[in-house]
Amino acid sequence: MKKFFAVILCKMLHFMGKLTGRGSSLPGKAALGICRDILGRIELPERIIAVTGSNGKTSTVEMIAAVLKARGIKVVWNEEGANQIEGIVTLALSHASLGGRVKGEVLLMEVDERYAAEIFEYLCPTQLVVTNLCRDQLTRNRHPEKVYEDILSAVHPQTELILNADDPLSSCLARGRGKVKWFGVEKCSVSADHPTGAYHDGAYCPVCKGPMEYDYVNYNHIGSYRCPRCGHARPTPDYLGADVDLEAGYLTTGSGVRIRLSLRSIYHGYNVLTAWAVCCNAGIPEEAAASVLSCYRLKSGRVQPFTLGSHRGMLLTSKHENSIAYDTNLRYIASSERDCVVLIIVDAVSRKYFTCETSWLWDIDFDQLNQLHVKKIILSGRYCKDLAECFSFTDLHNWSVQPDICRAVAGIRTRGSEDVYAVTCFSDRDKLLAHVERH
Amino acid sequence: MMEIRIIHFYPDLMNLYGSHANVKVLRRYLENMGCTVTVQRLSPGEKEPLISGEGEPDFVFMGAGTERSARAAMEDLARFDTSLKSWARDGIAMLFAGTAMELLGREIREPDGSVYPGIGLAEFVTEHQERGMTGDVYGYTELYPQAMVGFMNKSGLIRGVESPLLTRLKLGWGNEREGGPEGFHQGNVFASELTGPILVKNPRLLETVAAAVLTRRGVRLPDPLPRDTLGWEAYAVTEEQLRLRISEKAP
Ligand SMILES: [Zn+2]
């Protein structure tokens, strides 16, 4: 009976929430209030795919869903992005019959890595995908090794793992397990010989803490590693990105299937490969999955065009407290060729909680902006002085500070016509969008 | 020109939360005062020519790492145990920031029951908990009147600190409890679990540490000390935000 009420309540609140545009976690929260173990009491689809990790979850899940749908498979997935337990409950119950049977062939969930234990307590994924483990929201997550331990303790023995062979940390989840499939990218045009970035989380082996060796890295510590002391090394990928050619804009798999990339970044390349691996693993023919993924344009895309006077602008939504998300966008700007102005805004560190913590700024490789076509950099928002202190240690000199976002934008509008790149977080992006012409 | 030698212990292994910025900002500050600064980055197992060849360093730094990295760091740091103690006695300035602070104590206890010894420069003992302790910190030191700000991100309760760096907290986690004293300070040894670039976030502490380095070398300090202007401006924002936060929380 509790189950019945939980389902009804969740459905009603979800329906009302849709009308009023409210968040997708409230209905689940109410249902959990009635029945804490509701996820364990409902009848779930046979295949349950959970995707977790630090970066790329949302994009990967969206692309998997697109492929499954294109193949006529009924997939229930958290399109609204709520990835904590309340959101997962909302997702499952809003797609359930009154008897509690989730109507779909596949349940596909983006799972917040911190809530994995709570979610998997009542629900056992058939597949768990871990995109990577990097520094992300350390004010809540403490550090990547802690996140690793949290996921490790949450994984059911019967769950098949689909892991990133190129990540020395999350690959450790496979230790002592049989059911593991690997995806990974070979050395490609953007690979470096050594770990890159402002810090070197891959410098030491996560198993024995001995110094690691790399054949190549594709970004930060993601690449082909080997620990001479304990033998922890990159496994051979089952799903291989044999060639990622960002100039030509495609990814060729180990089996020779070619996927066109809508975004020419290595990070996107990994997400596409991950989605392809998961779909192939679910029995979808390689070519069929590739044809949906080819040129697939993300709806959850973090790139938003705008106009600012005579400037063409592009908002590159990043994530505060996540240096790789910033590095991704800075790398994108560096690889563009037209003259540009870059506006970086750090105003509220988080939209969900209060903190003045800005030490993550020191993990960002701002020197990537040291390019001839980057004409000017403007630092704005409440914590612009923290940003400026970081910039004062770079080789860059063409930066200035304007705490007031409105004035910073107005200053760009009145001068020149270069491209504008705005880099900021979800929490701050509306503060920019309020002052530009949106498309 | 005064030559200043800095030893940066384990810059890759112990470099969470922007720890490396402490060395950057101190180096620049000393250079702006006319010093020539060399930084020796020391990795585990590496020989230490600077120390054995040319005598004592002027400043020793180690930053934050994961619990497992700190343990690995300690395995190597043990060989410096005598040196570190004699440097501390000689008034050489040191900063152990984040988890590195724990290694100065007598021992570290893990949640699984295992125990390993620290350097033993102080008598305190660290007990790692399953749950982390995180949150902004606002408090006071006896070194100067300005408030200290920062972020706590740790899993260790530190018991038995007799001379804390922050004697009074108005917000956040101290060594043993919320609102309790935080860090460790004795002579010119500074330690705090406050993560991130504590010297960047607290320009007054940067000045204090730099003064400790230079005074020991017999340098007469300029009055007033030079200011890291951007650092002070950033500090003002954080200090105000935290002060507002505290008054909001107050009943
Ligand atoms: Zn190893």
pLDDT of residue A8: 85
Question: What rounded mean pLDDT belongs to chain B?
Answer: 94
Q: How many domains does chain B have?
A: 1
Residue A140 touches chain B, beta carbons under 8 Å = yes
A315 exposed, middle or buried (CB, 10 Å; 0-12, 13-18, 19+)?
buried
Residue B187's pLDDT is: 97
Length of chain A: 439
Best of B16, B24, B239 to disrupt the A interface (most A CBs within 10 Å) is B16
CA distance A303 to A316: 5
Residues of chain B neighbouring A386 (CB-CB closer than 8 A): 234, 237-238
In this predicted structure, the answer to whether residue A308 has a pLDDT above a threshold of 80 is yes
Most confident of A30-34, A165-169, A299-303: A165-169
CA distances from B99 to B11, B68, B122, B165, B176 (A): 13, 10, 15, 15, 14
Q: What is the mean pLDDT of residues A172-191?
A: 95
Amino acid letter, B71: R
Exposed (0-12), middle (13-18) or buried (19+): which is B70, by Cβ within 10 Å?
buried
A146 and B132: CB-CB below 8 Å? yes
Cβ distance B12 to A382 less than 8 Å, yes or no, reads no
CB contact residues (below 8 A), chain B span 115-174, against chain A: 132, 134-136, 149, 151, 153, 155
* pLDDT value of residue B53: 47
Give residue-wise pLDDT tens across range B169-180: 999 999 999 999
Chain B residues 10-69 with a CB less than 8 Å from chain A: 12-13, 15-18, 20-21, 24-25, 28, 43-44, 66-69
Query: In the prediction, which pLDDT does A7 show?
Result: 85
Q: Is A150 on the interface with B (CB under 8 A)?
A: no
Where exactly are the structural domains of chain A? 41-293, 303-438
Average pLDDT rounded to a whole number, residues A106-128: 94
The CA-based angle A124-A127-A133, given to 5 degrees, is: 105
| Candidate from A63-67, A88-92, A233-237, A397-401 with smallest mean pLDDT | A88-92
Tell me whether residues B151 and A357 touch, CB distance under 8 A: yes
CATH tag for A41-293 (out of 3.30.70.1090, 3.40.140.10, 3.40.1190.10, 1.10.3720.10): 3.40.1190.10
* Domain range for B142: 3-249
Half-sphere exposure of B116 (CA within 13 A, CB side): 18
CATH number at residue B238: 3.40.50.880
pLDDT score at B196? 66
Residues lining ion ligand 1 (Cβ < 5 A) are A 205, 207-208, 210, 227, 229-230, 232
Mean pLDDT of all residues in B5-11:
96
C-alpha B152/C-alpha B174 separation (Å) is 8
Of B12, B230, B241, the CB nearest to A203: B12
Give the mean pLDDT of A183-192. 95
Q: Is the pLDDT of residue A106 over 90?
A: yes
A 10 A CB-CB count for B3 gives 11
Q: B196 to chain A: which residues are within 8 Å by CB?
A: 357-359, 362
Residues in contact with A54: Cβ distance below 8 Å, sequence separation at least 6, in sequence order = A113, A131, A132, A133, A134, A135, A136, A144, A147, A322, A324
Separation between Cα atoms, residue A347 and residue A428, nearest integer Å: 6
Q: Rounded to 5 degrees, what angle do the CA atoms B244, B249, B250 make?
A: 100
Contact A385 B237 (CB under 8 A): yes
Comparing A3 with B73, which gets the higher pLDDT?
B73
pLDDT of B230: 96
Residues of chain B with Cβ-Cβ distance to A204 below 8 Å are 12-13, 69, 72
Q: What is the pLDDT of residue B188?
A: 98
Q: Average of pLDDT values for B217-245?
A: 95
Quick check: B212 and B188 in contact, CB under 8 A? yes
Residue type, A263: L
Q: Burial level of A297, CB count in 10 A (0-12/13-18/19+)?
A: exposed
Whether residue A161 contacts residue A128, with contact meaning beta carbons closer than 8 Å, is answered with: yes
CATH of A303-438, one of 3.90.1200.10, 3.30.1300.10, 1.10.3720.10, 3.90.190.20: 3.90.190.20
Shortest Cα distance, chain B CAs vs residue A336, angstroms: 28
Q: How many CB pairs under 8 A join A and B?
A: 104
| pLDDT value, residue B200 | 97
* B192 touching A (Cβ < 8 Å): no
The model's pLDDT over A350-390, given as tens digits with 9 standing for 90+, comes to 888 899 999 999 999 999 999 999 999 999 999 999 999 99
CA distance A392 to chain B (A): 9
pLDDT tens-digit profile of B126-168?
999 999 999 999 999 999 999 999 999 999 999 999 999 999 9
| Percent with pLDDT over 70 in chain B | 96
pLDDT of residue B1: 77
Q: What pLDDT sits at residue B51?
A: 55
Does residue B50 surpass a pLDDT of 60? no
pLDDT score at A16: 82
At position A140, the amino acid (one-letter code) is R
pLDDT of amino acid A15: 81
> Residue for token digits 């585990």?
B44
Average pLDDT over residues A312-319: 93
pLDDT one-digit tens code per residue, B195-216: 869 999 999 999 999 999 999 9
High-pLDDT (> 90) share of chain A, %? 79
Looking at residue A12, its pLDDT comes to: 82
